[in-house]
Amino acid sequence: MLDVLGAMHQISNCRLSIGDQGLAPNDCLRLFHKLTNLFLYQSGQFPDFTLMQKPKTAYEYLRSCKETDAHKVVKFLDSLQELEHHLSELPFPVPYCLILLGGLPSHPKRAFLVDFVGSSPPDTFTDEVLATPSTANRSEPIFSDFFRSFVQHPFYQLLMEGAPPTRTFFYFYMPTNYESTWFLPRPNFRLFRRCPVYVLQILTDSKHSMILDDLEADRCLLDINEILYGQSSDRMWYASPVSVEGFRGGAV
């Protein structure tokens, strides 16, 4: 029990509403892309937020440049593009997405856990539903409202604190029977208990989901403790084989 309590002291939690309707699978994917880009930019891993969101054609000219900075920019953006390409192969919504900043995956300097469980109807995360095709996207203004609330939350400043350029790793919590030719199963992955963890829970407005009493808060922390430090019989973490190498320089 002492280990559980010790791990909980490392967890900062934020609950934000995405609106009164559940997110479609494609919406979860798009929202995770945006959160990833924002985290990499604000934590000091890349200097040009706009370029991160553009296609490869926007930086192709840099491949012929001899400068070391140009090479680092291309490497960062290629890695990010490859990750985003393969994310579209995952059966979103993935219940938990984990971004690990610095160090090694087992001993990172900071962990950012995006919790999508409350963003969709309860039956969305059954194994059968995870295999179904994605539905249509939501409109962009919903994300605008979400990010407006996000950047004004005290949690945001803690999560986005600047860090020296370093590697960032990506893990996804999936059924143990999930098969992929790209994502790597990590059945023995356990997060280092002393690593600070920042949990963003994305919720709908329905059924008083934004009201967090003491019992529910304890339950949420126990669930997260089990996911990050325990072991499940039917779920495990899958790792992206590609990490992103941070780069600090002038805007491109």
At residue 90, φ and ψ (nearest 5 deg) are: -70, 145
- Residue 9, CA distances (Å) to 97, 115, 217, 225 in order: 21, 18, 13, 11
| Amino acid 216: pLDDT | 60
CATH number at residue 82: 3.30.900.20
The answer to whether 131 and 91 have CB atoms below 8 angstroms apart is yes
Mean pLDDT of the chain: 84
Residue 252, in any domain of the structure? no
Low-confidence ranges of the chain (pLDDT < 50): 1-6, 129, 131-139, 141, 207-209
| Containing structural domain, residue 94 | 2-245
- Residue 32, CA distances (Å) to 84, 116, 176, 189, 212 in order: 10, 10, 22, 22, 24
Total structural domains within the chain: 1
| Amino acid 138: pLDDT | 47
Q: Tell me how many degrees the CA angle 152-154-156 measures, rounded to the nearest 5.
A: 75
Full-model pTM: 0.86
| Amino acid 214: pLDDT | 54
Residue 250, in any domain of the structure? no
**Three-class SS state of 68:** helix
Per residue in 63-113, pLDDT (tens digit) is 888 787 888 999 999 999 999 999 999 988 899 999 999 999 989 999 999
- Cross-strand partners of 244: 168
| Amino acid 223: pLDDT | 83
* Among 220, 18, 200, residue whose Cα is nearest residue 120: 18
- Which residues, at least 6 apart from 18, have a Cβ–Cβ distance to it below 8 Å? 31, 119, 142, 146, 202, 203, 204
Residue 251, in any domain of the structure? no
| Amino acid 67: pLDDT | 83
